[in-house]
Structure 1
């Protein structure tokens, strides 16, 4: 009996609550305080607080009407569940400060189930507003196309501008579908400890006025894939403390972007006993397992070194972004790893490209090549029975495959 009465009491209580909600106005408790603001970032009445309550699921509009009847929407069509809400308004609509004057504020809600609309109106005065936005002058993006694939050629874009006043700045790539790709922080902030970097959000930093320089690599230096190939706008937005915003943009094309990936698939050395003055041979199979071409440079396969030589003495030098196969050994005293290096494949196997008047060779995605070479042991090694091994070097970046197939070689002398 007691449990039945309890259930009846609960039902009656819920019905009373429901009836109370139905009888309550759809929109109530609207307050705008203060009703006079001076949005100039002096810390005094820079913003007004708008409070309102909604009794049933609705869509919300908040807008301001000037003396000419022009509407400025602060919120439009926002979905709202029953409850109490508050929001701060500092005089700006879409980054632009409203002009000084008297406005009619309107808080308006439309009930989802019935389409009934209720609104509350009042006056808001804006005076002494800072309507002068920061500016981004001399905005340049150079070059206007790049290939972020770590081949050392056309991998980077310089984004520069002059900021006229202290502001929060956001720089990003924007595609045709509205997707954003952050550019990162300016060069002046590279190496700054994370806790001391004034990051405002994922892509925003607080900057002082002056010349600002960004060096954009598409993210590949951090090992993350760059934006997909295609056309973009480089967008820079500066927002001051009063909420004024200034936006500039310029086009940028991304081509052949991606993280270069290659692997050593097979290695062998022969013979394993080499007389002094004899030749140690090797063979390695390398495959481009990535989605972008990889650049390579000589000396070509089948080149034979003297043990006292290195690739510099043959007239070849490190080239940032280039891939080479190298051979290293125990007791190496050259002062650098992998002193013996070879090009990935023959010229007939590689694709030749002329870039800025220079000829470059590329191993295409999915392509596999065999690299052979030799080392004439023209002097006794620093160690008895040293191990030799192969590596795949992405010069100026990293050793992709290290210590591949270490093989002990006996040197007779």
Structure 2
């Protein structure tokens, strides 16, 4: 029996070529010799490392543990490698990518195939005149760090301050597992994008544009700076979003009868209210005739009394401020004359008339301490009142009609005011009624 002869071909070289061209670079973003091209060829699939070792034995990774198929490869190299921090350095932020120092380097490409066979080629690369300073982020502050984007005027916005030590492209974003990063917009000020210096980012959660804010929870504020050479530094801070949501409320339309009840009642001196003088509060109108939408005639000096219902149909509480329901105004009074000034973010019911001196001069809270929830501003310690999400409130009050103006009869109506935000179309000019004043001898 003849014996067969087996012939084994010698194993092919795995790395047939590798080189940097040019072999000298000056990575300083001046468009001259900033980049070198590294080319290499693999004859079979392998995992590769590309490292550079300085004459002081510092090792920097350009590629680490990356899988490649057989083929020809070309990659640009600007001297920037995986981030590192040298002994004794204090860096503002986490170094993600960094330029290697000027010097003479021995480069090595090592390939390991599936059988565990390893090959290495090496050469020399010189780096000179590099733009070595990092785009450090020496300051990142978030205030307030607990942020409630719900347009109640309390901690509705957060300000993010970033100080950049070197000209670089800066982005700031919010990150949280399970959601897409949220890119924040820089405030347009005297500093141009890309300059070194201080940057301000203002964030409202998107509520001012009518959007729902991100879900409540903890977020990472990430400031990300990358200079012209390609060095990159990150710095992070914590931001907590809580009680976020777009506030939505309306004057409830009644299925039958008037949405805003109006009726005339005689005035009594016990109702007189002024700053420092708290008069009695009028009772809600209960006369069934007030449910009609007929025109109203009342003697000069009597009160126009109203009643309506407000519903908070959003997912967040809405803040309100006084005076309380049942307060009686004189024709020439305003909420401010009673000591209740406009408050950004507060919701109030207002009454307006054709001849009133300003829009909705007479305003009332959506309740009082007995019917509303209270909340405390963590920064000032001040207590505020809120109508909870999904709840309704009955609001009533009166205006003493003491002046016959140029137009008589005139119309009077109600509105729901979100102060310094809006009076929405659905909450403006609600329940308009013709009111005529008559003199009684």
TM range (shorter): 0.7 to 0.9
Gaps of 5+ in 1: 1-24, 190-196, 199-205
TM-score computed with the length of structure 1 as normaliser: 0.76
CA RMSD, aligned part only? 3.6
Shift of 1:264: 1.9
Q: State the distance in 2 between where 1:332 and 1:60 align.
A: 81
Counterpart pick for 1:236 among 217, 223, 236: 223
TM-score computed with the length of structure 2 as normaliser: 0.72
Q: Which whole-Å deviations, capped at 9, do the CAs of 1:50-75 have from their partners, x for residues lacking one?
A: 5689999x898674343559462448
| Equivalent in the alignment of 2:363 | 341
Residues 47 and 89, structure 1, Cα contact 8 Å, conserved in 2: yes
SS at match of 2:420: coil
Corresponding position: 1:72 with 2:61 = yes
Counterpart pick for 1:227 among 214, 222, 227: 214
Residues 32 and 50, structure 1, Cα contact 8 Å, conserved in 2: yes
Counterpart pick for 1:319 among 334, 339, 343: 343
Counterpart pick for 2:435 among 404, 407, 410: 410
SS at match of 2:189: helix
| Equivalent in the alignment of 1:43 | 31
| Equivalent in the alignment of 2:261 | 269
| Equivalent in the alignment of 1:388 | 412
Counterpart pick for 1:328 among 349, 352, 359: 352
Gaps of 5+ in 2: 1-12, 82-95, 254-258, 264-294
Shift of 1:242: 1.3
SS at match of 2:208: helix
Counterpart pick for 1:283 among 283, 295, 307: 307
Residues 181 and 227, structure 1, Cα contact 8 Å, conserved in 2: no
Shift of 1:291: 1.5
Q: Which whole-Å deviations, capped at 9, do the CAs of 1:282-341 have from their partners, x for residues lacking one?
A: 22221111122111001111222222222122221100111111122223323xx21111
Alignment of 1:66-215 (within 5 A): 66=53, 70=59, 72-74=61-63, 77=66, 87-93=75-81, 94-100=96-102, 101-104=104-107, 106=109, 123=123, 124-176=125-177, 179-186=180-187, 188=189, 206-215=193-202
Q: State the distance in 2 between where 1:26 and 1:172 align.
A: 44
Which has more radius of gyration?
2
SS at match of 1:248: strand
The range that moved more, 83-92 or 379-388, is: 83-92
| Equivalent in the alignment of 2:388 | 364
| Equivalent in the alignment of 1:301 | 325
Q: State the distance in 2 between where 1:402 and 1:277 align.
A: 29
Q: State the distance in 2 between where 1:274 and 1:107 align.
A: 97
Q: Which whole-Å deviations, capped at 9, do the CAs of 1:93-138 have from their partners, x for residues lacking one?
A: 332112333243649798xxx9999999564443332221022224
Residues 261 and 308, structure 2, Cα contact 8 Å, conserved in 1: no
Q: State the distance in 2 between where 1:273 and 1:86 align.
A: 87
Q: State the distance in 2 between where 1:307 and 1:218 align.
A: 40
The range that moved more, 354-363 or 31-40, is: 31-40
The change in CA–CA distance for 1:410 and 1:143 in structure 2 (over 3 A counts) is closer
| Equivalent in the alignment of 1:10 | none
The range that moved more, 37-46 or 171-180, is: 171-180
SS at match of 2:247: coil
Q: State the distance in 1 between where 2:111 and 2:250 align.
A: 63
SS at match of 2:338: coil
Shift of 1:411: 0.6
Residues 251 and 427, structure 2, Cα contact 8 Å, conserved in 1: no
Q: State the distance in 2 between where 1:362 and 1:115 align.
A: 70
The range that moved more, 320-329 or 231-240, is: 231-240
| Equivalent in the alignment of 1:399 | 423
| Equivalent in the alignment of 1:292 | 316
| Number of residue-to-residue matches in the alignment | 369
Q: Which whole-Å deviations, capped at 9, do the CAs of 1:143-198 have from their partners, x for residues lacking one?
A: 33221222111222232243222111112222255852223203527xxxxxxx97
